[in-house]
Amino acid sequence: MKNEEYFVKTSDFYYDLPQELIAQTPLERRDGSRLMTLNRQTGEVGHEHFYDLPSHLRAGDTLVLNDSRVLPARLYGKRDPSGGAVELLLLKDQGEGKWECLARPGRKLKPGSRVTFGEGELTGEILEDLQEGKKLVQFFYEGIFLEVLERLGKMPLPPYIKEELQNGERYQTVYSRVVGSAAAPTAGLHFTKELLAEIEAMGVNIAYVTLHVGLGTFRPVSAEDVLEHHMHSEFCMISQETADLLNKTRQAGGRIICVGTTSCRTLESLVNEDGSFSEKSAWTEIFIYPGYTFKAMDGLVTNFHLPESTLVMLVSAFAGREHVLAAYKTAVENRYRFFSFGDAMLIL
């Protein structure tokens, strides 16, 4: 693909999206969503369903999935002694029961304030104010914190989803296993265990990476100059088993197809200079926008992303801004469902 000129204005990634196309609930059938195919060389689009994905894969390809699991990280409780309502959103585990959190009402929760959740099963003390309105909170509980959280916490759904989720597992992928994300790697929500088994039976490899999605994924790009936007850091890792599988795929001429921008960002962050892979982990702040040269990825399964977001920029870097915006325009005209619970796109 020819190199495009650099597009570094945020407004270059705007598209018009009617509010009613933002999916509020998941479809009953995970793999029943629509699948737009996009040829990144020609810009040609096709319209299928997600269960048709295997027809685009070949034996020897490797599908890369992010196995991170969403933390039920939203806690509703009361301030002591006033009983005023409190909401905490857990962001980062600092060890020994301490967490970085977003808090509401932030102004009233000063260092020394205490909060209670459930019937006192979990309590917390605000230790200090951090940057960007965050708080450091010390939690007190008996037993295992994640088990307490499973009982008391709610799924931290994106701000554009207004309806309450009836079944929390629908905001988890069927292969999620490593708890740590503040949001789901949503491209993976379309897979069923049956579909993955069908893909493996074709001779396609399934590889797992882990990237714990941070809330920065929903953070709008406020700077008009893209280069002034600062990405939040997210922890990611590749196991030796996955590195071996990816290297074998490369050597045999197979394609590496990432499921979701999180899998893409993991591989592009951790790939070696020569294009090979090794067991590795890191905090990544990688920001991919047009002009970026991909070293690890040959194809991408992804959802439809917010206008002017870093994720639209990433997809545009891979498939070309003109192609992506034309495809999004087609998706709007054809009433595709957008964002986390919406339809999918396959870019090859």
Tens-of-pLDDT digits for all 348 residues of the chain? 334 445 479 999 999 999 999 999 999 999 999 999 999 999 999 999 999 999 999 999 999 999 999 999 999 999 998 999 999 999 888 999 999 998 989 888 999 999 999 999 999 999 999 988 899 999 999 999 999 998 999 988 888 898 888 888 999 999 999 998 988 999 999 999 999 999 999 999 999 999 999 877 666 788 888 888 888 889 999 999 999 999 999 999 999 999 999 999 999 999 999 999 999 999 999 999 999 999 999 999 999 999 999 999 999 999 999 999 999 999 999 999 999 999 999 999
pLDDT at 164 (0 to 100): 83
Q: In this structure, what are the phi and psi dihedrals at residue 103, rounded to the nearest 5 degrees?
A: -135, 140
Structure token pair of residue 141:
């509980």
pLDDT at 1 (0 to 100): 38
pLDDT at 133 (0 to 100): 83
pLDDT at 173 (0 to 100): 98
pLDDT at 217 (0 to 100): 67
pLDDT at 3 (0 to 100): 40
pLDDT at 226 (0 to 100): 86
**Cβ-Cβ contacts under 8 Å for 174 (sequence gap 6 or more):** 30, 191, 192, 193, 196
Is residue 257 classed as helix, strand or coil in its secondary structure? Answer: strand
pLDDT at 49 (0 to 100): 98
pLDDT at 8 (0 to 100): 75
344 DSSP β-pair partners: 35, 303
Q: Tell me the CA distances in angstroms from 9 to 227, 230, 286, 338, one per residue in order.
A: 9, 15, 18, 23
Distance from C-alpha of 122 to C-alpha of 199, rounded to nearest angstrom: 43
Surface-to-core class of residue 244, CB atoms within 10 Å of its CB (0-12 exposed, 13-18 middle, 19+ buried) = middle
Q: In this structure, what are the phi and psi dihedrals at residue 258, rounded to the nearest 5 degrees?
A: -85, 135
Closest CA to 266 of 200, 181, 343, 334: 181
pLDDT at 4 (0 to 100): 44
**Cβ-Cβ contacts under 8 Å for 269 (sequence gap 6 or more):** 236, 282, 284, 286
Closest CA to 305 of 20, 9, 1, 23: 23
pLDDT at 157 (0 to 100): 86
Query: Which helix (H) or strand (E) covers residue 311, if one does?
Result: helix 310-319
